[in-house]
Amino acid sequence: PINTCNNLGLSCSSNANTTVDQQPPMLQINSPTADGVYTERALFLNLQVSEESTVSYRPNNEGAWKNVCQHCTSYSGTRSFTEGMNNLTFRVIDEPNNEAFYNHVFYVDSVNPKFNSISPSKDEFSSGLFSATFTEANPLSLVLHYGNSATGFRQTNANLASCTLNGKKTTCDVQVNLADYTSQDITYWFTITDIAGNTKDSKTLNVKVDYSNPVIESFDYEVTGKNVFFEFAIQEPNFVKIIYMDN
C-alpha cells in the first residue's frame, strides 16, 4: 500500500484504477403494495436493495427510525403496523454512506364498523332529518335506506366530508324529502362500508312522518290586570305544545 511505502521513506506510486461510489442505493418494496388496503395489522414486509445497505423506516415522519436490516440486499419478515393510513418513509444507506429516501403509503383496516346510535328513535316523528353515530376509522360510504311498501323504498348517500368526528366516533346527518310520505309510517336503517369492503347495517326502526310545519290560523289575547288570556287556532295533526318567550 502507498501509505506503507511512505512510512518507510520510499517513493511510491500506483497506477491502479479506483471507482468512487457516489450513487445512492435503490429500494424496491414488493409488499405491502403501494396504496393497498389490508384487514390485518401484522403484514409481510418484503423489499430488495440494489447494493448492501442499512434500511430503516419511520411512520408519518414522526418518532425514531425503526431498523429493518443492516448490510443487506433484501429483507422478508412480518411487521405490525397501525390502524388507518400508514405513510412510511424508508431510509437506505449504503456502505460509502450514500443515502436515499422512499415514501410508501398503504392502509390497514382490521376493525369492522360499528353503529353507536341512530335517530329518530322508534315510533318518533321525522320531518326528513336522520342521524347516525358510528365508530370506524376508514369509512368509505354511509347510506340511508328509508320508505314503505305503499310509497316505495329509497336510499341516499351521506356526505362524509360534512360529518363530525368526536374522539373515535363520527356523527353524520342526512336530510331527505319526505313530502310524499306525509302522515305515513316508514322504516329506515343505515349501511356503512369501510375501505376494506366491510359492511355493517344498523338496526331497523319504524318512525312516523310529519313533513309539514304547524299552521297558526289565528292568534288573539286579552289582558286582565296581571293575567293574559291567549287564544290560538292551530292546524296540526300531531300537535304537542305551544311555548312562549318573554323578551
Q: What is the Cα–Cα distance from 113 to 120, expressed in whole angstroms? A: 21
Tell me how far apart the 2 most distant CA atoms of the chain are, in Å. Answer: 127
- pLDDT on residue 61: 83
What is the pLDDT, as a whole number, of residue 2?
46
What is the per-residue pLDDT for 225? 94
Give me the sheet containing 169-175, strands edge to edge.
Answer: 114-119, 129-135, 169-175, 164-166
- In this prediction, the residues of the chain whose per-residue pLDDT falls under 50 are 1-2
- Partner residues linked to 234 by β-bridges: 216
Contact 130, 174 (CB under 8 A): yes
Torsion sign, CA atoms 198, 178, 117, 121: negative
Neighbours of 46 (CB within 10 A): 14
Q: Where are the beta strands (DSSP E) in 22-83?
A: 27-31, 37-38, 42-59, 66-80
Cβ neighbours for 97, distance < 8 A, ≥ 6 positions apart: none
Angle among Cα 192, 193, 194 to the nearest 5 degrees reads 125
- The C-alpha cell that represents 76 in the structure block: 422478508
Quick check: 49 and 72 in contact, CB under 8 A?
Answer: yes
Burial of 13 (0-12, 13-18, 19+ CB in 10 A): exposed
